[in-house]
Amino acid sequence: MTLVGRVVRLVITLALLHAAVRVGIVASKYYRLRTSTWEIVVAGTRVPPDRLGDQIFETAVELAVPIRRYDINVRRVRELTTAQGSYTEPVVLLPGFTYPVDLSFSVEASAMQARAVQELKDLTR
């Protein structure tokens, strides 16, 4: 194999590695936001839905997730709280090539789940 062939393979490998790392970062932020949203909803069964939405947005800001506050919707019907959100995150796959990734999440928790989680926490203390 010639030196040029090795350089081309190295460049292609580095480009693929770069893209994989960028996609991994976006996926990690998404899953962290979704998990945090569920934790906020479970812990906030007595908190007004608007305040829960604010807390979810604050978490998204901390994680550098490009979501706007009005793209987060929290509803409560009786004892069931649902939080939904959607956003588009641009992923720089290669220098000069950005791919927009549309992401959305939806979590729900009931007051019964919140009580069960609290009981488990109490048992593990």
Give the residue with greater pLDDT, 43 vs 52. 52
Locate the domains of the chain by residue range. Answer: 3-123
Backbone angles phi, psi at 78, to 5 degrees: 55, -115
Distance CA 46, CA 30 (A): 26
- pLDDT band for position 12 (50/70/90)? confident
- pLDDT band for position 52 (50/70/90)? very high
pLDDT score of 15 more than 90? no
Please tell me what DSSP assigns to residue 95: T
Residue 76, amino acid: R
